[in-house]
Amino acid sequence: MRGLYFVTDRGLCGRKPLEEVVIQAVKGGAAYMQLREKDVSTRFFVEEAQRIKKLLEPYKVPLIINDRVDVALACGAEGVHIGQEDMPYEIVRKLMGQKAIIGLSVETWEDVEVSQKMDVNYIGVSPVFSTPTKTDTKGSWGLEGLAKIKAFSRHPLVAIGGINESNVREVVKAGAECIAVVSAICASPHSEAAARRINEMINLILTERV
């Protein structure tokens, strides 16, 4: 897991169709795409996921579903991202299979320690900075917290929360291999260009970090 990880937020897309923003993000270099829906019916979520999965196929970008293992299974998604209050990892892995991408959000140091025993594909450090798109968390990690997790964890780190062009360099330097972005792409009037700039920054710092 490395590079740009795009997470959708329908409300931040304004009048732009979500599918259009997804394609722009991928054309801009997004390596992973997480479909996050909190306020739609299961039917709507599944049908939308099926459409987006088909859109992503030519670009070889995996579709990761937020929270909903049932939706991920129904649409044939490559992965699922779970939080601490969602279905337990062991059950998710059993249902999704060994090849699936499974990510886990960590909000406390205890979460980080427990995740060491899990064969998750990445841990989502959530949130790095406070953000309106992540309101149900227990505080922000900051750059020091991210660096502490990097020094301890055996898993790749996906950083999320308040990350944009102004701070992405510092976040990658602190230890994130992958940067999850929501509003910096969804709310941008030029989503493809925004994705490209952030992706180039991530890759540049990762190269320097080696």
User: pLDDT tens for residues 41-77?
Assistant: 999 999 999 999 999 999 999 999 999 999 999 999 9
pTM of the predicted model as reported, rounded to 2 decimal places? 0.94
Determine how many CB atoms are found less than 10 A away from the CB of residue 151: 8
Give residue 141's domain range.
Answer: 3-209
Residue pair 77/71 in contact by the 8 Å Cβ criterion:
yes
User: pLDDT tens for residues 85-128?
Assistant: 999 999 999 999 999 999 999 999 999 999 999 999 999 999 99
Report how far Cα 121 is from the mean position of its chain's Cα atoms: 12
User: pLDDT tens for residues 163-183?
Assistant: 999 999 999 999 999 999 999
**Cα(149)–Cα(196) distance, integer angstroms:** 27
More confident residue, 25 or 133: 25
How many domains does the chain contain in total?
A: 1
- Which ranges of the chain would DSSP assign to H, the alpha helix? 18-27, 42-56, 69-75, 89-96, 109-115, 142-152, 168-174, 183-186, 191-209
136 pLDDT more than 60: no
CATH number at residue 113: 3.20.20.70
